[in-house]
A = this chain, B = another copy of it.
């Protein structure tokens, strides 16, 4: 009805679905609404997307690419940990800007459904954490750290979405963010009398070396040697604090 531009119906369906999904606050969006807004009839939808969920997945995928693009845009700050902070903030902002989309992406994930997007988000975070690890700023395995940080990031975003926009307190985000990053980083942390929270420098160095090795393809060791070497490295860096 209003999206009758010259765009191909597939695109019009995507936009219509995204638009309806965005404005209808939580209420279910019917395929008939979508097809009508797109100026198309039902079979067209099912021809292109197979399923209502297929269409929604496509919308989510598009939104996710936008999200990833936003995350990748500002990487080049020299400080990896600072980049992770911005990544966190960007994640939260994305969720608050498009709450419905975000809820579909992260609020309804079920085992068989789609760990795909979550896995991508984890990979993105891990990639950034690898730089921190290579710089010796990481206390734990990048993968574990990425999962942990992302989990907290999602939890905070969901909680912020849940409360009315007027009384959203972003301090919840920054506080949790810094708590997670601090707990994961190899910063001084020192001075604490209780002091077993920081891990030994062996572990930190091993983690750093591991990340550095995987980043640069050193040819000082044969592949079989490297394999064993990495295994030992992993054993060291996985040792309990």
Q: Which of B110, B152, B161, B211 touches A110 (beta carbons < 8 Å)?
A: B161
Q: Decide if the interface of chain A is mainly helix, strand, loop or mixed.
A: helix
B182 x A144 contact (CB < 8 A): no
Q: In the complex the two chains form, is A111's CB within 8 Å of B165's CB?
A: yes
Segment of A31-39, A63-71, A196-204 engaged in the interface with chain B: A196-204
Does A216 reach chain B (CB closer than 8 Å)?
yes
Contact A118 B183 (CB under 8 A): no
Interface size class of A (residues with CB under 8 A): 35 or more
B159 touches A151 (CB 8 A): yes
Taking CB atoms, residues of chain B closer than 8 Å to A193 are 81, 182, 185, 187-188
Interface hub of A185, A194, A216 (most chain B Cβ within 10 A) = A194
Q: Would you list which residues of chain A between 133 and 159 have a CB under 8 Å from chain B? A: 134-137, 140, 144, 147-148, 150-156, 158-159
Q: Which residues of B contact A152 (CB under 8 A)?
A: 151-152, 155-156, 176, 180
